[in-house]
Amino acid sequence: METIFRQLPENIFKPLATPNKQLYSRLLLYLYREVLGDMTGNLPSKRVLIQEIAQYLENWQTEYTLQDDVEDDLAKQDADQRRSSVYRRLVETGWLIEHRDGYRQLVDFNAEARLLLQEIGRIESGQAQSYGSAVINVLSNMESAFGNPEDRSEGISNAARFSGEFLQHIRTVAAAVRKMEELIIKQKDLHNIFESFFDDYVEKYLIRDIKTLHTQNNPFRFKNKIVALVYDLYEDEVKRYRLENAYIKEGRSPDRERASALLFQELRIIETVFENIDQNLRIIENTNLRLQRRISNTVRYMDRVGYAAVDRIKEAIRTVAALPLGMKEEVDVSAPVPLALRPVGIQDLYQKPSPKADIEQRVIRKRKPDPALRAYEAAKREFFKQVMPSKAHIASFLEKALGDSNSVDAKDITIETLDDFVVFQRLRELPYLYGGVFADHYAVEMKEGMYESDWLECRDFTIRRIDISRKQAA
């Protein structure tokens, strides 16, 4: 947070902490969207901007009342003083900056203030982002970078950024839906319950966001494709090499090692978001089902809790209680006309539920496992053991390859068996395997050129043993 306040003007939040904060917040958004948001880049002069502020203040006072303010006391000023005070305060607190273009004095937003207003505008307008656009943005950027690594490498960075924003959007919707559930539960009046449900919940969240989860064109149908593209890049050494070159050429990384680390970091963000998104969606869906069930129950029983019916029952009970009759004596309630509804009686009181029938015992026969299925599961376990070498197996292979030397080139590593090949093809990912347990003992130096053998073709590399004592001393 210290870094944020170092970049923002010191007094920028002062107008938003005054009794007239509603005025300043809406005025700033109006200037951001209507006056200083010109797509052509033309900036208004100081005179024009003050006129816009004066017009806004005049419109504001037709609906709202200015509050007493210790610093500028807008409520007691006339129109000319008020517009000058507001303008001066926005300049002094760092929202607006003045500069000259020849003889003209122009006004614009402070650069950091414009970014801050962009986020405030998003909050003020609600959850404008949709699931579909977010997922499509990630997919299109991934496909662009995958198809043209040299010229579209920034697509990976954009996809990682969109993935992070998408995750925050999902979490925001989940939190907002839970908040709306608490608000509806606290309502005591039927009118308020339905108003909160239909006006706030259905219109704001259900129709736009939650309903898209159940449509035929559900945007999450692309989730597996996005994850598959990430795994394809994990496996495609040549394409990653081309992306790393583009990262260096475009100035996003100073050298190949950091370009590789940045690429892996961005790919892992995308992978993590879309492989774990179901949990957040489950929270939204469960809350939505609870809310709909509550409204359905309210509609079902609303006639039974009508205030008129309750008053009539209370009056009837008072009348019967005043009669000079014993507890077991009957009361004549014969009516001169047939009743449209049956009278309320003992049958309408709460009745204990009928006892459930005892569960009959039955013999459960245990089926013998299918020998073919057992053989299949054993073969599958053995296969995963081979393609996912253990830490001990990797360490043993490395020590055998290094011997007494502190480094070994890829071309000098002997591959004798299929198990050796499986370990060899994972060596380029050594710093990231098993949570980075090998990073303190071995370093992988990627080299220019390619390694070729009868087993595979990949980028050339060198494995170096790290002196732990020297590393700790450093």
β-bridge partners, 442: 465
Residue 351, pLDDT > 80, answer: no
The residue among 69 and 28 whose pLDDT is bigger is 28
Per-residue pLDDT tens for 96-124?
A: 888 877 778 888 888 888 888 887 777 66
Task: Assess if residue 309 is contained within a domain.
Answer: no
Final residue in a domain of this structure, among 124, 145, 177: 124
Same domain? 73 vs 97: yes
Confidence of residue 255 (pLDDT cuts 50, 70, 90): confident
Tell me the residue range of the domain where 55 lies.
2-124
Contact yes or no for 409/446 (Cβ under 8 A):
no
Task: Assess if residue 340 is contained within a domain.
Answer: no
Same domain? 434 vs 465: yes
Same domain? 118 vs 140: no
- Nearest-angstrom CA–CA distance, 103 and 100: 7
Which pLDDT score, from 0 to 100, does residue 473 have?
A: 46
Final residue in a domain of this structure, among 296, 331, 351: 296
Contacts of 389 by beta carbon, 8 Å cutoff, 6+ apart: 397, 419, 422, 423, 426
Global pTM?
0.48
Same domain? 158 vs 64: no
- Nearest-angstrom CA–CA distance, 304 and 310: 9
- SS3 category, 200: helix
Residue entry with tokens 């005591």? 188
Buried-state track 341-363, b at ≥16 Cβ within 10 A, e below 16:
eeeeeeeeeeeeeeeeeeeeeee
Same domain? 62 vs 132: no
Q: How many domains does the chain have?
A: 3
- Helix axes 391-402 and 418-426, enclosed angle (nearest 10): 90
Final residue in a domain of this structure, among 103, 124, 145: 124
Residue 304, pLDDT > 70, answer: no
Per-residue pLDDT tens for 363-415?
A: 877 778 888 888 888 888 888 777 778 888 888 888 888 888 888 998 888 88
Among 284-288, 325-329, 444-448, which range has the highest average pLDDT?
444-448
Same domain? 390 vs 442: yes
Residue 76, pLDDT > 80, answer: no
Which pLDDT score, from 0 to 100, does residue 341 have?
A: 65
Same domain? 278 vs 142: yes
Confidence of residue 204 (pLDDT cuts 50, 70, 90): low
Same domain? 118 vs 148: no
Task: Assess if residue 341 is contained within a domain.
Answer: no
- Nearest-angstrom CA–CA distance, 244 and 153: 8
Which pLDDT score, from 0 to 100, does residue 289 have?
A: 77
Task: Assess if residue 347 is contained within a domain.
Answer: no
For residues 210-231, give the mean pLDDT: 74
Same domain? 35 vs 174: no
Task: Assess if residue 413 is contained within a domain.
Answer: yes
- Nearest-angstrom CA–CA distance, 419 and 397: 10
